[in-house]
């Protein structure tokens, strides 16, 4: 039995996301780090920019380490 909301040959799916609108923060916020004037996105919940946000920095691999894909292979970087 075909759903009334689908055309012949189409497949009914769930909408992507489905979580509603993302939270929005105050406009005009700047990084809380002294001397940094970086403006924060209205979608960024942090008090600091990505350069000064310690939680974001902790999730990044240290410089000079090779990142790996999920399948175990290394990312290749193009050299121009």
Per residue in 12-64, pLDDT (tens digit) is 777 676 678 889 999 999 999 999 999 999 999 999 998 888 766 666 666 66
Q: Does the residue 43 lie in any domain?
A: yes
Q: Does the residue 22 lie in any domain?
A: yes
Domain residues for the domain of 41 are: 17-51
Q: Does the residue 8 lie in any domain?
A: no
* Polymer length of the chain: 80
Q: Does the residue 59 lie in any domain?
A: no
Q: Check the CA dihedral 28-31-34-36 and report its sign.
A: negative
Q: Does the residue 38 lie in any domain?
A: yes
Residue 73: Cβ-neighbour burial (10 angstroms; 0-12, 13-18, 19+): exposed
Domain count, the chain: 1
Q: Does the residue 46 lie in any domain?
A: yes
pTM of the model: 0.46
Which of 22, 66, 65 lies closest to 45, judged by CA? 22
């Amino acid at each position: 039995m075909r759903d009334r909301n689908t055309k012949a040959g189409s497949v009914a799916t769930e909408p992507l996301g489905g979580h509603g609108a993302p939270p929005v923060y105050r406009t005009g916020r700047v990084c809380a780090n002294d001397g940094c004037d970086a403006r924060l996105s209205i979608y960024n919940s942090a008090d600091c920019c990505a350069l000064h946000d310690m939680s974001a920095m902790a999730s990044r691999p240290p410089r000079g380490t090779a990142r790996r894909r999920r399948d175990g292979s290394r990312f290749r970087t193009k050299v121009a």
